[in-house]
Structure 1
Amino acid sequence: MKVIFLDFDGVITTLKSKYKLDPDKMALIGRIMDATDAKIVISSSWRRFSLEETIKEITDTSQFNVGDNPFPYPDAVVGVTERMYSFSYPNNDRHFGLPRGVEIQHYIDTHKEIEQYVILDDDCDMLLCQADNFIHTDTYEGISELDAEKAIVILNKLK
């Protein structure tokens, strides 16, 4: 299986779209899926505690950030990464978020059916081993045509 690890803010929501789902940016995700047969795993802060809750949230037009443009590919979403934290020992009341790359790597490690993947994110907190699969989008512009083309190349690369 091919997977797109998808962040929302800075990829398919931007300052220009007032951080609501942008139909033009989502169309680029659709183009990547059409060209690669990839599925989506949501690694965004928009994710909830389960796949079902996340899909409900991103397709509900009563949600402010969704507005009139619900996420158009709910059937392509096959998972959400887990939120991971580290605790300070012996002071366990302090916790720290782990880099998103750790959460993505955990998902990859526990889903052996993943043959190829791409990470679309405007943040840089990925692991070095993910560098060849990471596309750093522009925070203000979101995913671009060039980013989409790069994603297609990465996902269609033979191992």
Structure 2
Amino acid sequence: MKTVLFLDIDGVLAPKQMFDPYALEPDLKYRLAQEKNDPSIEKLPDTLVNQVYHHFDKESCALIGQLADQFDANIVLTTSWRLFFSLEQMKAILNIFDLGPYVTGMTEEGIPRYRVIQDYVMHHGIDRFVVIDDLNMMRQFPNHFVHARFRFEKEQYDNVRKLLSWQV
């Protein structure tokens, strides 16, 4: 039985807060592509790579990676970013924080978000999953939802672990 983490980005990996200013590093994407051994990072725009690198929460990304490792989980993206970037681009973006290899898909376009997640679950025969989002979908996904109000933190990590452990 494959485990799936349905993942939003804004408010989960990218915190809801004012960003600290940073200087654009024009060579950052080349350095990261080499460090991560992922040439697809080089194909991303400089500003995007800098934005992700400086604004995503490193701890939140690490916690998601730990969950994916511990539960042999795939990540399916539900974020609105999926409307602007291809799956390959999203893998490169998330590989800046070593999450790219876990990304196996994205939900279809559509609203409300919970409906496209429900459709994905039904059409892919998924029974072990957790939705992680800053948009509260507890009513639509009881026992399958963790609310990240501002960013994904240790408390939410523990809640995801509990939910996945109960879904055996």
TM-score (norm 2): 0.70
Aligned residues, how many?
A: 133
Query: Where does structure 1 differ by over 6 angstroms across 4 or more consecutive aligned residues?
Result: none
1:99-143 deviations in whole A, cap 9, x for unaligned? 21101001001101x23000100012x37341211111112xx01
Contact 1:46/1:54, CA 8 A, preserved across alignment: no
- Structure 2 gap ranges (5+): 20-51
- Bigger fraction of residues in helix: 2
Summarize the Cα distance change of 1:100–1:17 in structure 2 as closer, same or farther, 3 Å threshold: same
Look up the match of 1:44.
Answer: 79
Look up the match of 1:77.
Answer: 103
CA distance in 1, matches of 2:17, 2:138: 29
CA distance in 1, matches of 2:103, 2:18: 22
RMSD of aligned residue pairs (Cα, Å) = 2.4
TM-aligned CA deviation for residue 36 of structure 1 = 1.2
Aligned ranges 1:5-154 → 2 under 5 Å: 5-16=6-17, 18=19, 20-48=55-83, 53-57=86-90, 59-60=92-93, 70-84=96-110, 98-112=111-125, 114-124=126-136, 126=137, 128-139=139-150, 142-154=151-163
Contact 2:114/2:140, CA 8 A, preserved across alignment: no
Contact 2:87/2:105, CA 8 A, preserved across alignment: no
CA distance in 1, matches of 2:65, 2:164: 14
Summarize the Cα distance change of 1:154–1:127 in structure 2 as closer, same or farther, 3 Å threshold: closer
Contact 2:3/2:74, CA 8 A, preserved across alignment: yes
Give % identity: 31
Look up the match of 1:94.
Answer: none
TM-score (norm 1): 0.73
- Structure 1 gap ranges (5+): 61-65, 85-97
Contact 2:62/2:97, CA 8 A, preserved across alignment: no
